């Protein structure tokens, strides 16, 4: 029997991991296993950011949806703590900007359009430098290596000149693994446990799943933070 995990199943694992991580951080800091399990969430969601940026039909809607929810969480956190916290959704929004510029470069290369190639190269440089400075001065969640994690998967697929789908997945996972090692080296400690996301991604069968759970996963982030924050206030 062939064992595989579709996109919905992997995202549910990521959502459970993220919930455990935030419960461990906000409610039960003595339960170290919650934070350890939580190391799976960011890389799993980052991989689907890589896929979403590549395959979405409405690129502006995709970016504005994630960025909008990220800014909503920034506002909510400011009301709750009085501090500005640039959460993972902001980090993913930066990733998407870089991914879009790389996809534009890939398209320009296929069309052999010199003008578009020049513009796309400028867009890549601008988005990468912009991401670096935002991560450095606004302290984006997971920092610059975190923003580049999804990008590392996209960059490695550029080697696959023929664009064969199976090879594309293999190259993407190789680049993603390198990105995870970079992230772990920068953050250290329990972050090395994020490498356990790779066996799960190797089981990814490339399908979404029967149900369209896109909006569930969009709203899960702010809603679960609100719920955990409310419980922490009463405790």
C-alpha neighbours within 13 Å on the C-beta side of residue 125: 6
Average pLDDT over residues 38-63: 95
Residue 214: pLDDT band (50, 70, 90) is confident
pLDDT at 117: 92
Q: Between the ranges 64-73, 80-89, 106-115, where is the mean pLDDT highest?
A: 64-73
Residue 23 has pLDDT above 90, yes or no: yes
Residue 85: pLDDT band (50, 70, 90) is confident
- Least confident stretch, 28-32, 80-84, 216-220: 80-84
Return the sign of the alpha-carbon dihedral for residues 208, 212, 218, 219.
negative
235 token code pair: 């405790």
210 token code pair: 């029967």
| 204 SS3 class | strand
Average pLDDT over residues 173-187: 96
Provide the percentage of residues in the chain whose pLDDT is more than 70. 95
Average pLDDT over residues 67-72: 94
Residue 1: pLDDT band (50, 70, 90) is very low
What is this structure's pTM?
0.92
- Strands (E) in 36-169, as ranges, are none
| 57 SS3 class | coil
For 167, residues 6+ apart whose C-beta sits below 8 A from its C-beta are 160
């Amino acid at each position: 029997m062939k064992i595989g995990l579709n996109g919905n199943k992997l995202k549910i694992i990521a959502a459970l991991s993220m919930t455990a991580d935030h419960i461990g951080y906000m409610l039960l800091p003595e339960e170290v296993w919650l934070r350890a399990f939580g190391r799976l969430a960011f890389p799993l969601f980052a991989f689907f950011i890589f896929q979403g940026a590549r395959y979405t039909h409405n690129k502006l809607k995709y970016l504005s949806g994630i960025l909008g929810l990220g800014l909503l969480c920034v506002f909510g956190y400011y009301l709750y703590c009085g501090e500005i916290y640039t959460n993972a959704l902001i980090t993913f929004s930066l990733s998407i900007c870089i991914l879009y510029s790389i996809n534009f470069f890939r398209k320009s290369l296929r069309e052999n359009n010199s003008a578009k190639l020049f513009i796309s190269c400028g867009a890549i440089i601008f988005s990468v430098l912009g991401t670096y400075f935002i991560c450095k001065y606004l302290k984006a969640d997971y920092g610059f290596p975190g923003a580049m994690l999804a990008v590392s998967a996209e960059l490695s697929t550029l080697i696959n000149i023929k664009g064969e789908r199976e090879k594309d997945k293999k190259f993407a996972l190789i680049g993603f693994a390198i990105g995870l090692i970079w992230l772990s080296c920068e953050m250290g400690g329990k972050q090395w446990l994020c490498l356990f996301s790779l066996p799960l991604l190797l089981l990814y069968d490339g399908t979404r799943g029967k149900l369209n759970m896109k909006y569930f996963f969009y709203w899960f982030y702010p809603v679960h933070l609100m719920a955990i924050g409310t419980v922490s206030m009463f405790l």
